[in-house]
Copies of this chain bind each other. A is one copy, B any other.
Amino acid sequence: MAKAQPRSGERGNLRELFQPRSIAVVGASADSRTQGYRYVRLLLDYGFDGPVYPVNPNLSQLLGLPCYPSLIHIPGPVDYVISCIPASGVLELVEQCAQKGVGLIHFFTARFSETGRQPAAALEQELLARARRHHIRLIGPNCIGLYYPRHGLSFRYNLPRESGPVGLLSQSGGNAALIVQGAGTRGLRFSQVISYGNALDINEADLLEHLGADPETRVIGAYIEGVKEGRRFFRTLQQVTPHKPVIVLKGGRTSPGRRATQSHTASLAGSEGVWQAMLRQARAVAAADLKELIDLLVTFAWLPPTCGVRVGIAGGGGGPTVEAADQCHEAGLEVIPLPDDIRGAIKDRAPLVWDWVGNPADQSILLQTGIEAEDVLKMMAQSPEFDLLIGNATTDSPFEPHLEERLLHKELSAWLEIRRSSSKPLAVVIGATEGSSPWRQQMFTQLQTQLGAARIPTYPSMRRAARALSRFIQYHRLNR
């Protein structure tokens, strides 16, 4: 059997390891409900460009591929192994990997230290010792592994096939999927996502360093339950944040949360105060929860930098206008009155209501005046008085479908035009999701897709938009 070239040493070169030329799925299964089936199927579906070797002594073939009784029986070289076998078999697997010259093993295999049991924790340590001895790097154990669409790797069927500017490291595979899907409906795509579970070998510092150096990754997101190498992580963070924003959500901020991280990824989450101070000092951006993490990723990936807080807002009726003003102000943005030149321009076109229109521009005042809220937004885009813009598609409209669709289409055109012609950050709030009729939900979903395609960030509520924009500005003020 051909032995492949040995890969990198203990630290680094994850870049090469995460782009394997051949992959074996050990513990492959014909049962479509198992991850051992899915990994094989996903490599085919996402178009992995190299040999895929299912390994299972009880199968002769799987999804049209020949199946091997063990890793050793595979004819060609294997760069990367995905392990779906029970924990009892992992030590033998590492020995086989050493024989085959495998550089990287991802252990979907779980039930190690996270069970809280001593024998399982001891097995995990032995696994690490053997892998180190053979210079094999490990992802996990107890994790869902790699999503790297450019290289045909995925861990779920419903993740996008296209690549994008965001890299993500996540101790939780479930959260990784929720983040990729949630950001995905807003049009955002990912360069690579690494779910790394118990962080036995490859840890948060390795992954941050790796994504920091990845040319495809412009923004980094992280869901972390506990750090393995605190000082190195902090140092790396300080090096990365001036060039790439790093958005971090910490799981295990509270005592019951820390109890939960222990049974999830055996993480010993440290003091929340120390953690927050560390993030602040390294100029990373802390997210309060999963939804805010997604909001921030979309914001940082797409908006041009700004340090100004003077916001112009347009769209929506009276209630949403009041809410927009309150919530933007509460988030630290400055909702300035309309400047005189814009008031003058509105006076020319809507003499009956001009002195009644303000910022936020209330769409219901402008109905049937020959000027719309989005026209006011265009004026704001051209005025030096405004630093950033928010289009408010929070609808409380009483209109019939075809009429509302026409109004939204006009708004969309205006937003796209502003995106093309202005260098100011533009965000759009699409808030009509809770309690809307199905046709309206569908219409807004379509709108969101169109805005996402133009890389205009959308948010499900004004409060979330205002908070994300405010954090974005803070970051640029600190890093200017």
Chain A interface residues toward B at CB < 8 A: 32-33, 35, 38, 114-117, 156, 158, 170, 172-175, 177-178, 181-185, 223, 225, 251-257, 259-261, 263-265, 289-291, 294, 316-330, 335-337, 353, 355-360, 362, 364-365, 396, 398-400, 403, 433-437, 460-461, 463
Bound Cα distance from A434 to B325, whole angstroms:
25
Interface pairs (9), CB distance under 8 Å: A116-B356, A173-B317, A174-B318, A174-B364, A174-B396, A181-B436, A260-B325, A264-B318, A265-B318
Further pairs besides A254-B329, A263-B365: 7, Cβ < 8 Å: A156-B398, A184-B435, A185-B434, A223-B319, A260-B324, A264-B319, A289-B463
Q: A174-B319, A261-B322, A437-B158 are in contact. Are A33 and B403 (CB under 8 A)?
A: yes
Q: Assembly of this chain: how many copies? A: 2
B117 close to A355 (CB less than 8 A): yes
10 A-B pairs with least C-beta separation: A174-B396, A172-B319, A256-B335, A175-B319, A257-B326, A181-B435, A182-B435, A264-B318, A254-B329, A256-B325
Task: Tell whether, in the assembled complex, residue A174 and residue B317 are in contact, meaning their CB atoms are under 8 Å apart.
Answer: yes
Chain B nearest CB, measured from A287 CB (Å): 12
Q: Which chain B residue lies CB-closest to A321?
A: B260
Q: Cβ of B264 and Cβ of A321 under 8 Å apart?
A: yes
Which B residues are in CB contact (< 8 Å) with A355?
115-117
Give bound CA distance, A296 to B399, whole Å: 28
- Minimal Cβ-Cβ distance residue in B for A403: B33
Q: Is the CB of A254 within 8 A of B330?
A: yes
- Cβ contact of A318, chosen from B172, B396, B400, cutoff 8 A: B172
Query: With a CB–CB cut-off of 8 A, which chain B residues contact A259?
Result: 325, 337, 358
Docked CA distance A60–B116 (Å) = 81
**Which chain B positions have C-beta within 8 A of A174?**
316-320, 364, 396
Out of B329, B330, B336, B362, name the residue touching A263 (CB < 8 Å). B362
Whether A322 contacts B260 in the complex (CB less than 8 A), given A182-B435, A317-B174, A329-B255, comes out as yes
Contact residues in B for A32 (Cβ distance below 8 Å): 400
- With both chains docked as a complex, state the minimum distance between the C-beta of A369 and any C-beta of chain B, in angstroms: 12
**Closest CB of chain B to A396's CB: distance in Å?**
3
Interface contact A253-B326, CB-CB below 8 Å: yes
Expressed in whole angstroms, the minimum distance between the Cβ of A318 and any Cβ of chain B is: 4
Contacts A254-B329, A329-B256, A330-B254: A35 and B398 contacting too (C-beta < 8 A)? Answer: yes
Instruction: For the complex, give the distance between the alpha carbons of A297 and B352 in Å.
Output: 40
Which chain B residue shows the least CB distance to A175?
B319
A399 to B400, CA, bound (A): 38
Residue numbers in B under 8 Å from A330 (CB-CB):
253-254
Q: Chain B residues with Cβ under 8 A from A359's Cβ?
A: 256
Bound CA span A460–B319, Å: 22
What separation, in Å, do the CA atoms of A266 and B181 have in the docked complex? Answer: 43
Q: Which residue of B lies closest to A336 (CB)?
A: B256
Q: How far is the CB of A268 from chain B (nearest CB, A)?
A: 13
The chain B residue with its CB closest to the CB of A178 is B396
| Pairwise interchain contact A433-B435, C-beta atoms closer than 8 A | no
Query: Distance in Å from the Cβ of A459 to the closest Cβ of chain B?
Result: 11
Contact status A260-B317, CB under 8 Å: no
Task: Across the interface, name the chain B residue whose C-beta is closest to A249.
Answer: B323
Residue of A185, A360, A365, A434 ringed by the most chain B CB atoms within 10 A: A434
Interface core residue of A259, A337, A355 (most chain B CB under 10 Å): A259
Best-surrounded residue of A182, A320, A353 (most CB of chain B within 10 A): A320
In angstroms, Cα B403 to Cα A327, docked, is: 41
A21 to B: closest C-beta gap in Å? 27
**Which residues does chain B contribute within 8 Å of A184, judged by CB atoms?**
435
- Enumerate chain B residues within 8 angstroms of A182, measured Cβ to Cβ: 434-435
Q: Are A322 and B172 in contact (CB under 8 A)?
A: yes
Within the complex, what minimum Cβ distance (angstroms) separates A103 from chain B? 27
Compute how far the CA of A247 lies from the CA of B85 in the bound complex, rounded to whole angstroms: 54
Cα of A214 to Cα of B435 in the assembled complex, Å: 26
**Please, which residues of chain B bring their CB within 8 A of the CB of A398?**
35, 38, 156, 177
A115 to B264, CA, bound (A): 58
Q: Which of B173, B183, B358, B433 is close to A433, meaning CB atoms less than 8 Å apart?
A: B433
Report the separation of the CA atoms of residues A319 and B224 in the bound assembly, to the nearest whole angstrom: 10
In the bound complex, what is the Cα–Cα distance between A158 and B400 (angstroms)? 11
Residues of B within 8 Å of A33, CB to CB, are 399-400, 403
Q: Is the Cβ of A290 less than 8 Å from the Cβ of B323?
A: yes
B residues less than 8 Å from A254 (CB atoms): 325-326, 329-330, 335
Name the residue of chain B whose CB is nearest to the CB of A116. Answer: B356
Known: A181-B436, A263-B365, A396-B175. A319 touches B360 (CB 8 A): no
